[in-house]
Amino acid sequence: MLRFLIRRVLLGVFVMWIVTMIVFGLFFIGPSAEAVARRLGGKSATPTQIHLIETRLGLNDPVIVQYWHFLWGNPAQPGTGLLKGHLGYDYYYQVSVNHIIAEAFPITFSLAVGAAILWLSMGVFTGIVSAVRPRTFIDRALTTIALFFYSMPTFVLGLLLLLVFYYEFTIHGLSWFPAGSYVPLTQDPFQWFRHLILPWFTLAVVSAAAYTRLTRGSMLDVLGEDYIRTARAKGLRERRVVLRHGLRSALTPVVTQFGIDLGVLIGGAIITEQVFSLPGLGYTAVQAITNDDLPVILGITIVASAAVVVANILVDVGYAFLDPRVRLN
C-alpha cells in the first residue's frame, strides 16, 4: 500500500511538473521581454509598470533561469516561486494571486462538495434501483428522467430554478431562496446553506443522471458474476447481496468518474457560478479572462490541475477499499 502511494504521488508530481512547463511556455515565452511583461501587466499597464514587471520577473534572463525563478523564486524577490506556495502577483488589482484564490477557493469548494454529495447519493441510489429491477416500469422511468436531465444544459436548469424558486416564490410572498451571492460558513451557517441549495441542486441533478446510468450498467454486470450467485445460494438476504457484495465491486467505475468530476469542479464550476453570482474560482477566471489578467489565469490553472491530480490519487487509493479483487501491490 505504501509503495503504491509513493508511486502515485511521484507520478502526480511528475504530471504537475509537466503542467508547470506548459503553463510557463504559454505565459512567459514571448517574442520579447517587453511583450511578456505587457501581457502580464494587463490592458491598463503603464510603461513604468511594464518595466517594473520585467525587472521583478527577470524577463531578460535566459529561459531556463526564468523557469527556475518561476519554480523556486527570484532571489531579488524573497518568498516567490511555485514551490514555496506563491502563485504570483496580480498587477491588475495590485494584490498577490494567493489572496485572490484564497477568497475564491472556499466558495468553489463549498459548491463542489455539497453538489458532489447530492449527485453521488441520488445517482447511486437510482442506479441501484434500476439495476435490481431491470426492464420494469421503474427502470424505464428512471432511465428517461436521467436522460432528460443529462441532456439539459446547466445554465438552463439554473435559470429555471431561479425563475421558479426565487422569482415566482418571492412575488407570492415566499422568500425562501435568494437570487444568488454567497455567505461564508463561518459568518452564518444557515445563510450559507440557503444561498447554496439551488446551485447544489443545479449541479447535482445534471451530474446525477450520468451516475445513474453508470451505476446501473456496472451493477448489472456485477450481479451476473459467479460470486453473486454463490452468495445467493448460501441464503444471504437479497439486500445484503446487492449492497455488500454487488455494490462494493460495482462502485469502481463510479469512483473513477467521481474523482475526475470532483477534481474538475473544484478547479472552477464556471457556468453555475456565473448563473448564481458566486465569486468562486470559475467566476474569478472569467473575470480574469475579460480583464486580460494573466497572473490570475495562471494561478487558477495551477490550482485546477493540482485538484485533478489529487482527486485521481485518492480515487486509486479508494479502489483497494471498495473492490477486494484489486491488489495495489
Whether residue 93 is contained in a domain is answered as no
One domain, residues 107 and 66: no
Listed in sequence order, the residues at least 6 apart from 167 whose beta carbon sits closer than 8 Å to its beta carbon are none
> Is 263 domain-assigned?
yes
Same domain, 40 and 75: yes
329 inside domain:
no
| pLDDT at 200 (0 to 100) | 92
Same domain, 27 and 175: no
Q: Between 246 and 55, whose confidence is greater?
A: 246
The verdict on pTM exceeding 0.85 is no
How far is the C-alpha of 75 from the C-alpha of 326, rounded, in Å? Answer: 48
| 75 and 214 assigned to the same domain | no
Same domain membership, residue 237 and residue 142: yes
Q: Is the confidence at residue 169, as pLDDT, over 60?
A: yes
Q: What is the CATH number of the domain that holds 217?
A: 1.10.3720.10
Same domain (yes/no): 81, 102: no
Specify whether 80 is located in the same domain as 52. yes
Beta pairing partners, 95: 90
> Is residue 91 a part of any domain in this protein?
no
Q: What is the mean pLDDT of residues 95-124?
A: 91
Average pLDDT of 43-59? 72
Asked if 106 and 243 sit in the same domain, the reply is yes
Kindly report, residue by residue over 4-38, the tens digit of the pLDDT. Answer: 778 888 888 899 999 998 888 877 776 666 666 76
More confident residue, 190 or 63: 190
Residues 159 and 71 reside in one and the same domain: no
Among 273, 311, 258, smallest CA distance to 104 is for: 273
pLDDT at 101 (0 to 100): 92
What pLDDT sits at residue 139?
87
Q: How large a percentage of the chain has pLDDT more than 70?
A: 91
Residues 270-291 have pLDDT tens digits of 888 888 988 999 889 888 888 8
Answer yes or no: do 138 and 48 share one domain.
no
Tens of pLDDT, residue by residue over 171-183, are 888 888 888 788 8
Q: Is residue 123 part of a domain?
A: yes
Taking alpha carbons only, the member of 268, 295, 258, 265 closest to residue 39 is 295
Question: Greater confidence, 127 or 55?
Answer: 127
- Quote the domain boundaries for residue 56: 2-86
Query: Can you tell me whether residue 293 is helix, strand or coil?
Result: coil
Mean per-residue pLDDT for 253-269? 82
Average pLDDT, integer, range 251-258: 84
Please determine, for residue 266, whether its predicted confidence score (pLDDT) is greater than 70.
yes
pLDDT at residue 78 in the model: 65
Whether residues 259 and 119 share a domain: the answer is yes
Name the domain count of the chain. 2
* Model confidence pLDDT, tens digit, residues 214-248: 888 888 888 888 888 888 888 888 888 888 778 87
CB 211 within 8 A of CB 124: yes
